[in-house]
């Protein structure tokens, strides 16, 4: 068992920047082990969801979209922010899947969750599995979204990862949770 960290005491905490989808905070803390005081900066983000949407033909619903952070078109699964109107991660997953792809599914359940970057963020990213997914309409994209939805046989996903075509860390994490889920079946 790993030894316990000694911890920190927060002396002050303030918001230093506000953007539409995150804010930046600054916390002055004291190390209990050394007594040293230090400012730590962190991002306040809402919780997120990634959606493993499986069709009756054992295909995954995937999307391609440009990401400004990487400056590249990324191969991903659907996902996004959990809105205040969403009752839980499964509701958010159903909404995101429908909005981004026009697909709907059933038997929704959380199959994993992670802290995306606990050094800088305090939010959670949930992975939700939806089964028997089928297209029931057109995507309902936001004005700032431009993406293409399509399906890929589940058996081909490992090759996409191996070739580096899927490189988004949270998507790789979600696909790992899906792989673990399938092994337990």
Residue 4 banded pLDDT, cuts 50, 70, 90 = low
- Predicted local distance difference test score (pLDDT) of residue 157: 97
Order of strands, sheet of 147-153, starting from the edge strand that comes earlier in the sequence: 72-76, 59-67, 147-153
- Predicted local distance difference test score (pLDDT) of residue 2: 64
Biggest CA-to-CA distance, the chain: 59
Question: Is the CATH number of domain 48-184 2.60.98.20?
Answer: no
Mean of pLDDT over the chain: 95
> Among the residues of 50-168, which ranges form H helices?
89-101, 154-162
In whole angstroms, give the CA distance from residue 111 to residue 181. 7
Mean pLDDT value across residues 112-121? 96
Mean pLDDT value across residues 56-74? 97
Quick: pLDDT tens for 129-167.
999 999 999 999 999 999 999 999 999 999 999 999 999
Coil, helix or strand for 157?
helix
DSSP codes joined into one string, 41-81: EEEEE--EEEEEEB-TTSEEEEEEEEETTTTEEEEE--EEE
- Predicted local distance difference test score (pLDDT) of residue 5: 66
Coil, helix or strand for 24?
strand
Coil, helix or strand for 171?
helix
- Predicted local distance difference test score (pLDDT) of residue 6: 72
Tell me the angle at which helices 169-184 and 154-162 cross, rounded to the nearest 10 degrees: 140
Whether 40 shows a pLDDT value over 90: the answer reads: yes
Q: Would you list the domain boundaries of the chain?
A: 8-45, 48-184
Residue 3 banded pLDDT, cuts 50, 70, 90 = low
Phi, psi of 162 (to 5 degrees): -60, -35
Buried b or exposed e, range 125-147, using 16+ CB within 10 angstroms: bbbbbbeebeeeeebeeeeeeeb
Kindly report whether the global pTM for this prediction surpasses the value 0.85. Answer: yes
- Predicted local distance difference test score (pLDDT) of residue 88: 97
């Amino acid at each position: 068992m790993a030894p316990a960290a000694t911890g920190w005491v927060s002396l002050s905490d303030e918001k230093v920047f506000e953007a539409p989808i995150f804010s930046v905070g600054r916390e002055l803390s004291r190390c209990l082990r050394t007594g040293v005081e230090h400012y730590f900066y962190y991002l306040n983000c809402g919780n997120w969801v990634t959606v493993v949407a499986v069709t009756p033909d054992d295909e995954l619903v995937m999307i391609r979209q440009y990401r400004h952070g990487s400056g590249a078109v990324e191969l991903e699964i659907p996902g996004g922010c959990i809105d205040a109107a969403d009752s839980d991660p499964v509701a958010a997953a159903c909404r995101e899947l429908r909005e981004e792809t026009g697909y709907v599914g059933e038997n929704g359940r959380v199959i994993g969750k992670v802290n995306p970057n606990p050094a800088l963020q305090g939010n959670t990213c949930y992975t939700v599995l939806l089964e028997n997914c089928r297209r029931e309409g057109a995507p309902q994209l936001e004005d700032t979204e431009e993406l293409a939805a399509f399906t890929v046989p589940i058996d081909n996903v490992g090759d996409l990862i191996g070739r580096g075509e899927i490189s988004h860390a949270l998507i790789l994490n979600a696909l790992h949770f899906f792989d673990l889920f399938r092994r337990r079946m």
